Amino acid sequence: MSIFSRKSPRAAETPAAPAAATTAVLDFEPATAATADVTGDYTVDPTHTRIGFSTRHAMVTTVRGAFTDFEGTAHLDVANPAQSSAQLRIKVASIDTAQEQRDAHLRTGDFFDAEQYPEIVFASTAVEQLDADLYAVTGDLTIKDVTKPVTVEFTVVGSAKDPFGNLRVGFEGSATINRKDWGLTYNAALETGGVLISDRIKLEFDVSAIAASAN
């Protein structure tokens, strides 16, 4: 199976469900694979891409947010996955957690200091194929002028030709980081123990990329 081509589930690897078990229901229709060879240069489509994150709040619930202003590119190499690459630039001021007061606080020096450090940057340094449609993308993540390596596991969801003739490839990925590694140390202790904001942050990527040749 070639890189970046969606593979159907392998029935032999999935134990048969007991007769009394309820049949699982898919959330969405199955993904498509318009072409097996998606080698080429791509641009991230911000209209159909989510760059998100989630964190624990007060040790009892999860708060989710996203950045709404970003741009990214990728090079995909089907024959040699290690030659693939990706870059992403995010405008910090575009942070959105659906709560204006919290978003304003996140833009201050307590957190991202968006005025002094307006961008978050990711640049890949290595791509490794882990399975037929699973890849580990390692790269340098820079926040507030601090650069640390991060590995994101991406699943290739599928490829399709949209109604406008664009070849699209979809990816889903996530990684968990410790925000303190990038100098995001603000917190408050709780009277009942624990802290207001978890140190561990989950990064979430739902990416739709358009082949440059289709532009």
| In the chain, where the domains are located | 39-214
The mean-pLDDT minimum among 10-24, 72-86, 145-159, 200-214 falls in: 10-24
Q: CB atoms < 10 A from the CB of 42, how many?
A: 25
Residues 196/58, Cβ–Cβ less than 8 Å: yes
Residue 78 has pLDDT above 90, yes or no: no
Each residue's pLDDT tens digit, 131-164: 888 999 999 999 999 999 999 999 999 898 888 8
* Phi and psi angles of residue 64, each rounded to the nearest 5 degrees, phi first: -120, 150
CATH architecture of 39-214: Beta Barrel (2.40)
For 84-138, give the secondary structure using H, E and C: CEEEEEEEHHHEECCCHHHHHHHCCCCCCCCCCCCEEEEEEEEEEEEECCEEEEE
Residues 85/117, Cβ–Cβ less than 8 Å: no
Mean pLDDT value across the chain: 86
| pLDDT at residue 34 in the model | 64
Which position has the higher pLDDT, 32 or 144? 144
**With bands split at pLDDT 50, 70 and 90, how would you rate the model's confidence at 57?**
confident
* Phi and psi angles of residue 96, each rounded to the nearest 5 degrees, phi first: -145, 110
